[in-house]
Amino acid sequence: MRSTAIMIVGVGGQGTLLTSRILGNVGISTGADVKVSEVHGMSQRGGSVVTYVKIGEKVHSPIIEKGEADILLCFEELEALRWIDYAKKDASIIINTQRIDPMPVITGKARYPENIVERIKAEYENVITVPALELAKAAGSIRAVNVVMIGVLAQKTDIPEEVWIDSIRKTVKPQFVELNIEAFRKGYNL
C-alpha cells in the first residue's frame, strides 16, 4: 500500500488542530495505520505551527522529514516558504494566498519575503493557490479557512467526498457543521 505524508503549516490560531483531526478521521477510513503529530501550547499563540499526518501500512515516526511530504498544505505564504524543503519534488503544494506578518516584520526588524508563490511555482510543478480567506468569508465565516483548505486537498485525493464530509460531521461542533460543509465545498469545487 502506498503511504502518504501530509504536512499542514500555518500560524497558531488558524485552526490547524481541527484540520489534523478531520484528516486523521479520514485517514482511519482508509483502513491504514495513521499518526498525526500536533502542536499545542505556546506556539498556538500566533507562532509558526506545523502538523504532520502520516498514513501507511505501518507508521513509526510521527514526524515527516525534509523531502518526504507528498502534500504541503500551507495556510499562509511565509509558512509555505519556511517549510518548502519538506516537500517532495512532485508534491502537491496548496497555498492559501494570505499574508500574516510575523512580529519581527511588524516591528520593522525583518522584511516579509516577496513573490513567494512565484518562487515556489518556479521550482515545483504541482502548486495550487487558493484565496481561502475570501472563500471562507463567502461560506459564512473567516474562521473556516482551514476547512476550505481541506476541501482543496480532498479534491486531490481518490477518497470520496462523502468520507470527508462525514469526518467533518464527526469532528466539528453540531452548530457549525453546515457552515463547515459549505466551506469544504467552496474548496472542493474550486
Partner 1 sequence: MLPVPGRHVRRRIMKKLMLGNEAIARGVYEAGATVATAYPGTPSTEITECIAKYDEIYSEWSPNEKVALEVAIGASVGGARAACSMKHVGLNVAADPLFTAAYTGVNGGLVLFVADDPGMHSSQNEQDTRLIARAAKVPVLEPSDSQECKDFAREAFRISEEFDTPVIVRLTTRVAHSQGLVELGERENVPIKPYIKDPGKYVMMPAMARKRHVAVEERLARLSELSDSTSLNRIEWGDRKVGVIAGGIAYQYAKEVFGNASFLKLGMVYPLPEKLIREFASQVETLYVIEELEPFIENSCLGMGIKVKGKDVLPVIGEYSAGLIRERVLGEKPEKLNSIEEDIPVRPPVMCAGCPHRGIFYVLKKLKLNVTGDIGCYTLGALAPLESLDTCVCMGASIGMAHGMEKAMGRDSARKTVAVIGDSTFIHSGITGLIDIVYNKGTSTVIILDNSTTGMTGHQHHPATGFTIKGEPTRQVDLVKLCQAVGVDRVNVIDPFDLAEAEKVIREETAADEPSVIISRRPCALLKNVKFNGVLKINPDKCTRCRMCMRLGCPAIVDRGTHIEVDPALCVGCDLCTKVCRFNAFERVGGENA
Q: What part of residues 95-154 is at the interface with partner 1 (CB under 8 A)?
A: 98, 100-113, 119-120, 123-124, 133, 142
- Residue 137 CA, chain-centre distance (Å), reads 18
> Which of these segments, 27-35, 172-180, 181-189, binds partner 1 (CB under 8 A)?
27-35
- Which is nearer to partner 1, 13 or 190 (by Cβ)? 13
- Residue 26 CA, chain-centre distance (Å), reads 14
- Which is nearer to partner 1, 67 or 178 (by Cβ)? 67
> Cβ 45 to partner 1, closest distance in Å?
4
> Cβ 34 to partner 1, closest distance in Å?
6
Q: Per-residue x/- marks for partner 1, 162-181, CB under 8 A?
A: -x------------------
Closest CA to 71 of 126, 17, 19: 126
Q: Per-residue x/- marks for partner 1, 35-74, CB under 8 A?
A: xxxxxxxxxxxxxx------x---xxxxx-xxx--xx---
CA distances from 109 to 81, 112, 146, 166 (A): 19, 10, 29, 45
By the 8 A CB rule, do 94 and 149 touch?
yes
State the Cα angle at 143 between 180 and 65, rounded to 5°: 90
